[in-house]
Amino acid sequence: MSPQGLARIRAREAYVAKVYDDGVGNSTVGYGHMLRPGESFPGGLTDAQAQELFAKDVERIVSPVLDRIKVPLTQNQVDAIGSFVFNVGPGNFTRSILPKLNLGNHQGVLASMFKFITGRNQRTGERVTLRGLLKRRQEEIALYKQGSGLALLLPGEDWSRSARRLLANGMQFLRAESACLFDSCRRSRSPS
């Protein structure tokens, strides 16, 4: 990941010096660090300590997943994927995104990323669209597409009910155009 990509994640996570509940029962501190068994920060963390812990988290959580990607990506795509993995975890990425990505299905990647915009309402247990996650996914998707030639997406049947509801409520998407991102597919196309 680039320094700019890491800075984006830190800005999204925001520095919190004291341990807090992340809203779904995880004790968290610093820049989105979920406490691991045996960890305790009774006095909180300085920003420098939080940044050091963040760097270790990225190395432990994000880097191994990035190593499993078999297709070439732009730096923006790597940074977008890194932010996504840091937020939703490597398991969700490996199950939902990685197979599509390694097939070169970039539009499928974006559609799958956009499904991760819900959380559980603590009072009712119902899954609801969270504005913070929606905004984060929009930013990650925009970064992923930046400079890649990918068009905006038109939600289809494989999109979550939340994504289709957002479309119905006025969120605008453009028709997806097929994109050739790599020289190998550009060379294989016949001239038109």
Q: In what order do the strands lie in the sheet with 16-21?
A: 16-21, 27-30, 33-34
Q: Which two tokens stand for residue 86?
A: 């840091």
pTM: 0.73
Domains, the chain, with CATH or none: 3-179 (1.10.530.40)
Instruction: Report angle CA 32, 60, 75 to the nearest 5 degrees.
Output: 85
DSSP class of 8: H
Task: Quote the tokens at residue 140.
Answer: 């990650």
Residue 20 makes CB contacts below 8 A (sequence gap 6+) with: 27, 28, 29
Compute CA distances 141 → 65, 75, 99, whole Å: 18, 13, 18
Q: Cβ distance 96 to 112 under 8 Å?
A: yes
pLDDT tens digits for the chain (192 residues)? 899 999 999 999 889 999 998 776 778 999 999 999 999 899 999 999 999 999 999 999 999 999 999 999 999 999 999 999 999 999 999 999 999 999 999 999 999 998 998 887 777 888 888 888 899 999 999 999 986 555 444 445 555 555 555 555 444 443 333 333 333 333 333 333
Check if the beta carbon of residue 44 is closer than 8 Å to that of residue 17: yes
